[in-house]
Amino acid sequence: MLVVMHSHATAEQVRAVCERIESLGLKSHPIPGAARTAIGITGNDGAVDLAILESLPGVAECIPVSKPYKLVSRDVKEEDSVIRIPTPLGDVLVGGKHLALVAGPCAVESEAQCMAVAEQLKPTGVRLFRGGAYKPRTSPYSFQGLGEAGLKILAKIRDEFGFGIITEAIDHESLDLVEKYGDVIQIGARNMQNFSLLKRAGRAKKPVLLKRGMSATLDEFLMAAEYILSEGNYNVMLCERGVRTFSDFSRNTLDLAVVPAVKKRSHLPIFVDPSHGTGKRHKVLPLSRAAVAVGADGLLVEVHHQPEKALSDGIQSILPEEFAALCIEIRQIAAVVHREVN
């Protein structure tokens, strides 16, 4: 259910409608738009009695939302959501006309490694740094990440270079710490349907980057985002990172067609990760070009100064100089599709 307020409705009237919704034992989600505020209602198993709400001052109309997802839907918010990521050097914007680049190693391996990568990334103009301190690995014997010590290294990278930090949380415990040290909480593909973790991310005060599960349908992907919004965190960015198919020439099949599909259904921005999406270094640049051309709101790229020595995903990591060349091309393509890179 969605309550659409008049464009001239006052903040007081919006508050009164929310209070009324809450008094019915339901949850209200006021979502301000450019023209008007819409109030999403969740927690209702059956139909809410429309008449009660429709008669309240400032209400334009009540529309039942038939889709399984509500708060992530374009029905609730017509225009693109623009997510604001605070960094020491000012906010990075994602969505609408704003396109963001994220670069960094798969994993935080050591302070020296992160410093080396960050130093070489700084001149490219990229403003967001990635790196996993908690690594969900297929094998329990593979490098699992440095944990909190890795987060402290990332915090140092932020202080030294001014980057915003994006890093993954794999459970409740790590999410508490990622929220403390990082700027964006990444929920990885393997946890896309970890509903308890999604709810926790929904109670977090920092933006969330939600990666698509490797076999998730679009509905499942959007429903996972809905979990986060339904808990009150509206700062969610999606990320296509490739899905499992019968293709035998790349690690995953990067589903770029999902980008316009998401845009049709949702106001949330969507990143593309060409690194996990292909698994091969030489495919990162061509798929990055395609991702921006198709409307992605950002790129998440794995970069390592010594990929042959990387503790994880060296084969898909590009060198800082290759990322610098990618940035130049991406800025050119972005201009053609009327996007601003930040």
The distance of closest approach from Cβ of residue 107 to Mn ion in the complex, given in angstroms and rounded to an integer, is 7
Helices (H) and strands (E) in the chain, counts: 11, 15
Candidates 283, 299, 313, 330; binder of Mn ion (CB under 5 A) is 313
Q: Does 132 bind ligand PEP (CB under 6 A)?
A: yes
Minimum gap (Å) between residue 303 Cβ and ligand PEP: 12
Q: CA 229 → CA 46, 208, 271, distances in Å?
A: 20, 10, 18
- Of 18-26, 77-85, 139-147, 183-191, the segment contacting ligand PEP by CB under 6 A is 183-191
Q: Name which of 250, 252, 239 is nearest 301 in CA terms.
A: 239
Binding residue for Mn ion, selected from 106, 187, 287, 301, defined by CB under 5 A: 106
Considering only residues 89 through 118, tell me which ones interact with ligand PEP, judged by CB under 6 A.
106
Scored b (16 or more CB within 10 A) or e, 275-301 reads bbbbbebebbbebbbbbbebbbbbbbb
- Residue whose beta carbon is closest to Mn ion: 106
**DSSP classification of residue 76:** T
| Binding partner of 188, given ligand PEP, Mn ion, none, CB within 5-8 angstroms per partner class | ligand PEP
A 10 A CB-CB count for 139 gives 7
Indicate which single residue of 70, 241, 251, 304 sits in contact with ligand PEP (rule: CB under 6 A).
241
Question: Judging by beta carbons within 10 Å of its beta carbon (0-12, 13-18, 19+), is residue 120 exposed, middle or buried?
Answer: middle
Question: Closer CB to ligand PEP, residue 230 or residue 312?
Answer: 312
Please choose which of Mn ion, ligand PEP, none residue 265 contacts, taking the beta carbon within 5 to 8 angstroms, the exact cut-off set by kind: none
Q: Which of these ranges, 3-11, 119-127, 186-194, 287-295, lies near ligand PEP under the rule CB under 6 A?
A: 186-194
Contact status: 189 vs ligand PEP (CB under 6 A): yes
Closest CA to 28 of 7, 1, 5, 55: 1
Q: Work out whether 168 is an interface residue with Mn ion (CB under 5 A).
A: no
Q: Which is nearer to ligand PEP, 200 or 276 (CB)?
A: 276
Is residue 48 a contact partner of residue 1, using CB atoms and an 8 Å limit? yes
- Taking the least distance from each CB to Mn ion, the nearer of 164 and 307 is 307
**Which of residues 241 and 339 has its CB atom nearest to ligand PEP in the complex?**
241
CB of 253 to Mn ion, least distance (A): 17
Query: Taking contact as CB under 5 A, which single stretch among the options 97-105, 169-177, 192-200, 306-314 is the one that binds Mn ion?
Result: 306-314
The two three-digit tokens of residue 84, written as one number = 């604001």
DSSP string computed for 292-315: HHHT-SEEEEEB-SSGGG-SS-GG
Q: Which of 276, 281, 283, 304 binds ligand PEP (CB under 6 A)?
A: 276
Per CB under 6 A, 188 contacts ligand PEP: yes
Please state the φ and ψ torsions of residue 59, each to the nearest 5 degrees: -85, 130
Distance CA 234, CA 322 (A): 34
CA atoms within 13 A on the CB side of 203: 8
Half-sphere exposure in the Cβ direction for 151 (13 Å, CA): 20
Binding site for ligand PEP (CB under 6 A): 106, 132, 168, 188-190, 211, 241, 276
Binding site for Mn ion (CB under 5 A): 106, 313
